[in-house]
Structure formats: C-alpha cells, structure tokens
Structure 1
Amino acid sequence: MRILHTSDWHLGQHFMGKTRQAEHQAFCAWMIEQVRAHGVDALLIAGDIFDTGAPPSYAREQYNRFIVELRATGCELVVLGGNHDSVAMLSESQSLLAELGTRVIPGVCSELSEQLLVLHQRDGQPGALLCGIPFIRPRDVLHSQAGQSAQDKQLSLQQAIAEHYQQLYALAEAKRVELGGQLPIIATGHLTTVGASASDSVREIYVGSLEAFPTSAFPPAAYIALGHIHRPQKVGGLEHIRYSGSPLALSFDEARQQKEVLLVELDAGGLRQITPLPVPCFQPLLSLRGSLAELAESIKQAASQGTAETPVWLEVLVTSDDYLTDLQVRIEALCQGLPVEVLRVRRERGSASAGLTASAGETLDELSVSEVFSRRLQQEQLAPAEVTQLEGLYGAVLEQLRSPDS
C-alpha cells in the first residue's frame, strides 16, 4: 500500500499582498505527476487545505479541479479539516465529492465510526485502515466545567484528545479482525506535538489550554500522518510519527527549508519505508540581513534566482543603518533593474542603542542627549569635514529647540 502524506496547502493564501495562486496551481500539477510516477494508492491531506474559512472562489476552483484530475489517476483522496478550515464549508461538498472518490472529514463526527475509513489499493482490495482525525476543537470533546484552573483545562483537553484517539483505534482493531486481521492501521492528526519545531506562520491552536500533545498519548498505529507544523520533521525522533510540512514556504523564516511530501509504503507487517519527495520551489523567497553596503551585494546574489516573469520576493532586515529615514527609497534603488521584489523592509531596532552603551556597561538613561549623539557619530566612518558639519547641524537644532520662540 502506497500513501502520499501532505498537509497545510493553505489554498487562497495572500502573502503580504501577493497571491499564491500560480504557485498552488504548479504544485497541484506536480502532485498529480508524483501520484502517477509512484503508483500512489491514497493521498492524505492532514488539515489546512484552505488558508481561511471563507477562501476566495479561485481557491475553491483549484480544490475542485485537483480532485477531478486526481480521480483520473485511480488514487483515493482523504481530506482532513484543519484549524484554518471551516467545518461548514468543507461539509458543503462532502457528499458530492464522495462520488468522485474523495472522502472529507471536516471535523469530529457525531458518530465515531464515520472517522474510520478503509483505504484501497489500485486493484480494489483493502490496503489499510485509517483513523481519520481532523483538527479537534475543545467543544468537540469537552464540556466546560466551572472552577477549573488553566492547568486543569489543559490536562482535561489532553486526556479528551487521547481518549478520542484510543476509542477510534479500538474500532480500527475490531474492523481489522473483521477484514482478516492483516491490514496496517494509520492515524492522522492536526495539532502541535511535544518537541515539534514550528515557524512564524504557524498559528497557536489552543490558546491558554493545550500547548502540545505528547507522543506517548498516540495509539500504536503503524504510521501517524500529522499536519499543522510547516517544517517537515519526525516527532521525537520516531520514524512513524511525521509532519510532512507545508508544500510552500508560508513565511520568510521558512524560505530556506526544503519542502517535501512523504511517500509511505506499508504492508501487513506495518511500516516498510518512508521516502521524502522534495517539492520544487515555484516562487523564490529570501530573507536578507545586513547594512546597506552588505545588502547591495546580497540583493545582486538573490537576483540570480529570479527571472523577469518570476522575481524573487525579498524581506530585508537593515542592521547598522536602521536610523535612516529613507530606507525604503534606498532599498528600492538597490533593486533597480533586478528581478527582485521587496515585500517587507524591517529595521533591527535596538542595534544602535546596544552598541552605544555595551562597551562601557552604561544604559541610555545615564547618558545625555549630546553624549548619545556623540557616541553614535563615532560609530560611522565619516571624513572629519562631515563630522564637523553634522556636529554644527546638531548644535543648531538644539539651539532652536531651546529658543522660547520655537
């Protein structure tokens, strides 16, 4: 049985004013190629298929088109709801998509058995059992109790989620016996686990309650396909508990990650092999840091990754020149004529203040305004005439501020 594990597509995402539509379209086409090339029996999307609960119409169209194209490959599709997804919106087309070989589990079902699925091989024979667990909202498994502390609520939610996994796994074991006792059992999840490494684009799920779910609370499934964390990784060093990560970089701190989907092979004995399939970069994305002089060279190097049709999207963090008021203009001048596009310019606040006081063990409160200006001026590489000119300008400004008519 061959399964392709992916998650966190975030269809419809706008990245600092930029649409990801072309990237998602290219990724969907690439996914169809992988399904055909590797003879995949079932594709699992472990949550956050959409970026918002009310995605734009083009994102819904991409979703539907992908399902139709995947059907032609003979591969089954299972879509699990994530914390970004709307249960109501995914439920709208649930019965219709079932006719196209796609099973959607938007949220926790009223009947637990509805979350237990039989996955089939291409010849129609059962190949695995799936405990299809989407993002679990506290209201799905908990009843509010008066007087509970924050710690009590966290423990109650953790226990309720663990119980949900155990109950569904028990149903799967019974179903396996019914079908002959030879099928591997797979589970999914959309949550943060203990030890998982997140990124800036990952939204906290359980604010003020469950911080992370321990791996010891998962049932002994042959493979556990997780979503929500965008960096691909094993959980706790365990081979069979994996985050596939997002296929696109969803924040600048993910820009240097190699994105991937996971090809998982199982048989009656359980997990056989996991093969990461690297996802091509459809839109270059880089975060650059340095002074203006350093950035000039960095931007030229970054430009080599872009084209006129697909410029590199840049985040620029300015360090030693962060006091300048015309940073945006200066950065735009450095990018002139290059296949790059700056989406965000940031100043490394505090760098100048730290440099002014660190060597002497002082704080800014201990320095006068004139001393701060003098110390800051000493950090610049200026000609004596320029220093004299700036000191004169500074003195004139101070004099004007002290004037009663100012």
Structure 2
Amino acid sequence: MRLLHTSDWHLGQHFMGKTRQAEHQALIGWLLEQVEARQVDAVLIAGDLFDTGTPPSYARELYNQLVVSLHALRVPLLLLAGNHDSVATLNESRELLARLGATVITTAGADPADQLVLLPGRDGNPGCLVGAVPFIRPRDLLQSQAGQSGEDKQRSLQSAIQAHYAAVHEALVERQQELETSLGRRLPLVLTGHLTTVGASASESVREIYVGALEAFPTSAFPPADYIALGHIHRPQKVGGLELIRYSGSPLPLSFDEAGQQKEMLLVDLEAAGLAAVTPLPVPRFQGLAAIRGSLDSLAGPIGAAAALGSPERPTWLEVTVNGDDWLADLPARLEQLTAGWPVDILRIRRARGNEAARLAASPGLTLEELSPDEVFARRLAQEDLDEPQREALTGLYRHILAGMADPAPGP
C-alpha cells in the first residue's frame, strides 16, 4: 500500500496581494503526474486544504478538479479539515464527493467509528486502516468551566485530545482484528492529526491554533500506529527524529521565511508488518520567491540571483531587508531603480534597524521597566554589526550623554 501524504495547500491564499492560483493549478497537474508515475494507491491531505473559511470560487474549482481527476485515475482521496478550513464549506459537498472516491472528515465526532476509513489499494483490495482525526476544536471535546486557569485549560484540552486519540485507536484495533479474521492478513494502521507537537519547527505563516491553551501535543501521547500523518506545520520534518511520525509540510512556500525550504510530499509504503519506507518527493518551485538582505551597494548580486528564478512573464517575488542604508527616506524609490530591468517584483521592504528594535521590544519576559538604561544600550548595541573601535566610540558617546544629563549646566 502506497500513500501520498501532503497537507497545508491553502488554496485561495493571497500572498501580499498576489494570487497563487497559477501555482496551485500547476501543483495539481504535477501531483497527478506523480500519482500515475509512482503508482500511488491513495492521497491523504492532512488539513488546511483552503486558506480561509470562505475560499474564492477558483479555489473551490481547483478542489473539485483534484477530486474528479483522482477519481478518473481510480485513486481515493482522504481529506481532513484543518484549522483554516470551514467545517460548513467542506461539508456542503461531502456526500457528493464521496461518490467520486473522496472521504472528507471535518470534525472529531462523538462516535470514534465515524473516523475509521478503510483505504483500498490499486487492486481494489483493502490496503490500510486510517484513524482519520482532523483538527480538533476545543468545543468538539470540552465544555468551558468557570474559574479555570490557563494551565487548567491546557491540561484539560491535552487530556481530552489524548482520550479522543485513545478511543479512535481502540476502535481502529477492533476493526483491524475483524478484518484480519476475514482477510487472513494484517492491515497496517495509520493515524492522522492537524496540530502542533512538541519539538516541531514552525515558520511565520503558521497560525497559532490554541491561543492561551494547548501549546503543543506531546509526541508520547499518540497511541501506537504504523504511521502518523500530520499537518499544520509547514516545514517538512520528522517528529522527535521518528520515521513514523511526520509532517509533510506545505507544498508551496507560504511566507518569505519558507523561501529557502525544499518543499515536499511523502510517499509512505506500508506492508502487513508495518511501515516499510517513507520517501520524500521534492515539489518543484512554480513561482520564484526569495528573501534577500544587505546594503544598497551589495544587493545587485542577490537581486540577479533572485531574477534567475523568474521570467518576464512570471517575475520573482522579493522580500528585501536593507541594513546600513535603512535610514534613507527614499528607500523604496532607490530599490525600484536598483531592480529596474530585472524580472523581480518587490513585495516587502524591511529596514534592519526597525526589525532589530522590534525584536528588542519583544524580548520574552522583560519590560523596559525591568532593564536599566545601560542594559538597554548594551542589548541594542549587540544587535549592530560593528567593529570594536566603533563599539567603544559609541559607548563613550553614550556615557558622555548620560553624564551631561546627570549634571546639567547651570542656568543663566
């Protein structure tokens, strides 16, 4: 049995005012080619198919196109709702798409059996059993209680999610044993989830799921399975270094800090004995995207390298962080002149000093009231790329100013 594990497509996303429609259209074409070439038995999307609860019409069309095309290839689709997805939006076509081989799981229902999905292989015979757990909303499992502290809410939610996984796993094993008796062979077990686990590495485009409650679900709290397919984190990764617990990551970079990532989907090979192999499948880049940094004098080289990723018809999208010259009031105009003639489109300009100041202000657990003026100056100075003589000169000037403030000149 070969699954294609992917997640976090975010159909309908607008990237700083730019549509991703052409990229998603190309992604679907590429996926269908891979499904055929690599003899994939089923496709699993672990949440966040859409970017918003009210996706634009073209995003819904792409979704329908994916379902119909996979049906034509006789490859079933298992789709889980994520935190960006609207339960109502996915449910409105759920029964219709089921006729085309697409199983859509939107909520963690009261009956764990509702989340058991039997996926067939290409030969039509049962291939694996899936405990299809989507994004779990607190209201699906908990009732709010007055007087609970933040820690109490976090513990309650973690316990409720863990109990739900345990119930789904119990139903999964019971069904597995029934099928083993009738089939004469063991079916591998797969679990899914759309959440943050302990140790997962996120990016700036990942939205916090449980604000003020559950920060991350412990890896040890998952029940045993042959493979655990996760969504929500956009960076592809093993969890805790384990082969069998994986985030596939998003197939497209969804923020500039993902521009340097090699995006991928995962080919998951399962046998009766369990997991046989997980093979990363690199996803091509359908739109040039780059984050570059430097002074105005040093940006020509990085701009040229970024331009090579694009074309006049589809220019590379750029984030430019300027240091050294970031104080210039006409910085946007200078950058526009610098990129003239190159197939690039600057979507965001960042000033290094402003970013560093913001990071200083956002230091966790500290307020300005807790820092002395000397500590504030030392922290800010440490963020500058200066040689020792420059540091000493600035420190001397700082102390001279402080001394003048402490001992002002007498009045007339």
| Common fold by TM > 0.5 | yes
Q: Following TM superposition, by how much is the alpha carbon of 1:297 offset from its aligned partner in structure 2, in angstroms?
A: 2.2
Q: 1: distance between equivalents of 2:392 and 2:50?
A: 50
Which residue does 1:203 correspond to in 2?
207
Instruction: Specify the code of the residue in structure 2 equivalent to 1:152.
Output: D
Instruction: Specify the code of the residue in structure 1 equivalent to 2:319.
Output: E
1:284-334 C-alpha deviation (Å, 9 max, x unpaired): 100000000011222122212221112111000000001100000000001
Counterparts of residues 149-168 of structure 1 (less than 5 Å): 149-168=149-168
Which residue does 2:186 correspond to in 1?
182
Which residue does 2:248 correspond to in 1?
244
Q: Give TM-score scaled by structure 2 length.
A: 0.87
Which residue does 1:84 correspond to in 2?
84
Which shifted more, 247-256 or 293-302? Answer: 293-302
Matched, 1:115 2:115: yes
SS at match of 1:359: helix
Q: Following TM superposition, by how much is the alpha carbon of 1:361 offset from its aligned partner in structure 2, in angstroms?
A: 6.6
Which residue does 1:324 correspond to in 2?
328
Counterparts of residues 247-286 of structure 1 (less than 5 Å): 247-286=251-290
Instruction: Specify the code of the residue in structure 1 equivalent to 2:161.
Output: I
1:376-404 C-alpha deviation (Å, 9 max, x unpaired): xxxxxxxxxxxxxxxxxxxxxxxxxxxxx
Q: Following TM superposition, by how much is the alpha carbon of 1:365 offset from its aligned partner in structure 2, in angstroms?
A: 6.8
Which shifted more, 348-357 or 179-188? Answer: 348-357
Instruction: Specify the code of the residue in structure 1 equivalent to 2:349.
Output: V
1:166-190 C-alpha deviation (Å, 9 max, x unpaired): 1001001000111116011100000
1:80-112 C-alpha deviation (Å, 9 max, x unpaired): 000000011101001000000000011212432
Q: C-alpha root-mean-square deviation of aligned residues, in Å?
A: 1.9
Which residue does 2:362 correspond to in 1?
none
1:250-295 C-alpha deviation (Å, 9 max, x unpaired): 0000001000000000011000011110000000100000000011
Gaps of 5+ in 2: 358-379, 405-412
Gaps of 5+ in 1: 372-406
Matched, 1:9 2:9: yes
Distance 1:363 1:38, change over 3 A: farther
SS at match of 2:191: strand
Which residue does 1:99 correspond to in 2?
99
Q: 2: distance between equivalents of 1:99 and 1:90?
A: 15
Q: 1: distance between equivalents of 2:392 and 2:61?
A: 59
Which residue does 2:134 correspond to in 1?
134
Which residue does 2:36 correspond to in 1?
36
Indicate conservation of the 8 Å contact 2:289/2:306, yes or no: no
SS at match of 1:168: helix
Instruction: Specify the code of the residue in structure 1 equivalent to 2:90.
Output: L
Matched, 1:61 2:65: no
SS at match of 2:88: helix
1:311-359 C-alpha deviation (Å, 9 max, x unpaired): 1110000000011000000000011011111001110125797359843
Which shifted more, 261-270 or 305-314? Answer: 305-314
Instruction: Specify the code of the residue in structure 1 equivalent to 2:221.
Output: A
Counterparts of residues 376-395 of structure 1 (less than 5 Å): none
Q: 1: distance between equivalents of 2:236 and 2:104?
A: 23
How many residue pairs align between the two structures? 370
Q: Following TM superposition, by how much is the alpha carbon of 1:122 offset from its aligned partner in structure 2, in angstroms?
A: 1.3
